[in-house]
Amino acid sequence: MSLYKIRVAGLEDILQQDEIDLKELRNFCFYGIPDCSGLRSTCWKLLLGYLGPKRDTWSATLAKKRELYKQFIEEMVIPPGEQNGAACVDHPLSDGPESNWNTFFKDNEVLLQIDKDVRRLCPDISFFQQATEFPCESVVSHNRERKLHVRVAPSTLSSANVERKGLGMTKINLITKRAIENYQAMDAGQEAHWEVVERILFLYAKLNPGQGYVQGMNEIIGPIYYVLASDPNVEYRQYAEADCFFCFTALMGEIRDFFIKTLDESEGGIKFMMARLSNMLKDKDPEVWNRLRDQELYPQYYSFRWLTLLLSQEFPLPDVLRIWDSVFADEKRYDFLVKVCCAMIILLREQILDNDFACNVKLLQNFPPMDIKVVLRKATSLE
């Protein structure tokens, strides 16, 4: 039996236990989840806390969460005049604070940025441009106004200026992996995967008004949705949208400090994380650290994006999934992410020591293609 088949069998044994040993699962997943039989989908749900360790609770948990998500769509996606088939008791021109229509139009400002971002998601694969097998019936079976992208057609709205202000939204610069052209919407009765992601992000923003939508969240949700919507289990694919929403919400609960300016200096804030990376580099490779310091090439010039977007912009999607296996399995959470970032710098040491400031900025902001196994092996050695 091949090593790969042995690993598959080993993970299946772990997942078939009545009560899954999460420590054993983390130890296994840290070294990569076999890309077959929907194993990654199940493991990520467990590692992110969406599913509990007791298998006999899964069915009830999934049924409850999926029904809750359906209610979110009915309450927050369906236009005010159509909710539950009720007659409209609120005028679209009302600007009162209690007006559902007033909220509806204000939501479009955030929705415009989401729409812009999801139309160019994960351009290295065609997946997000394709039609989902399971479009949301309450959306596609009615008029086109229930499709969120229709609400923010270019002819009706101008782009919002999204900046980083306190607990509000932020614009993350240097998002490099974007399609050249916007993805197109599907015909009536169908939905593309990017339209589903748009709805998830919109609902997340609605339900988290203190944070709202932050540009870059689309890069976090993309790999999660891809994994869940590619599950060979038909039921899991059918409910990938709802399951993705709750997995994404759980993950954002852990990294939300990365996106909030007022928490930059906190232990979970992005400046604190960049300082940890700098200190680790100083300890593991003082020569490279001194070179970057002498050039005044500070971590925020390159590692802000690395850490905030969990390296989703630096590697092809299959490599991102492999990195996230280890990051999600890290019991201390995100310690390993810092090690991966440090390993990336050390593996470029010869070039960094030889380059001038401009070349090093370009090098670190556009990380060169590299075998992900080499990067992870180096990161694992940084104990």
pLDDT in tens, 236-287: 999 999 999 999 999 999 988 887 766 556 666 889 999 999 999 999 999 9
Instruction: Say if CB 153 and CB 216 are below 8 A apart.
Output: no
Q: Which two tokens stand for residue 34?
A: 């076999």
Q: Are 126 and 317 in contact (CB under 8 A)?
A: no
Q: What is the pLDDT of residue 176?
A: 59
Higher pLDDT, 202 or 83: 202
Residue 360 or residue 188, greater confidence: 360
Distance CA 185, CA 140 (A): 12
pLDDT confidence band for 22 (50 / 70 / 90)? very high
Whether 350 shows a pLDDT value over 80: the answer reads yes
pLDDT band (50, 70, 90) for residue 171: very low
- Quick one: average pLDDT of 339-354? 98
Q: Hey, how many other C-beta atoms are within 10 angstroms of the C-beta on 220?
A: 21
In this predicted structure, what is the pLDDT of residue 148?
86
For the entire predicted model, the pTM comes to: 0.88
Over residues 314-333, the pLDDT tens digits come to 999 999 999 999 999 998 87
Residue 193 pLDDT exceeds 90:
yes
Please give the Cα distance from 297 to 360 (Å, whole number): 8
What is the distance in angstroms between the CA of the first residue and the CA of the last residue of the chain? Answer: 33
Residue 185 has what pLDDT?
A: 79
What confidence score (pLDDT) does residue 83 get? 54
Indicate the average pLDDT of the chain. 87
What pLDDT was estimated at residue 221?
97
As a whole number, mean pLDDT of residues 221-229 equals 98
Rg (CA), the chain: 22
% of the chain beyond a pLDDT of 70: 83
- The position carrying tokens 């925020």 is 300
Which residues, listed in sequence order, are joined to residue 19 by a DSSP beta bridge?
Answer: 54
DSSP symbol at 156: T
Two tokens, residue 325: 């296996």
pLDDT of residue 199: 96
CA separation, residue 35 to residues 14, 246, 298, 314, 322 (Å): 16, 22, 37, 21, 9
3-state secondary structure of 111: helix
Confidence label for 149 from pLDDT (cuts 50, 70 and 90) = confident
- The confidence band for 181, taking pLDDT boundaries of 50, 70 and 90, is low
Q: What is the pLDDT of residues 84-136, one digit of tens each?
A: 544 445 555 455 555 555 666 778 889 999 999 999 898 888 999 999 999 99
State residue 120's pLDDT score: 87
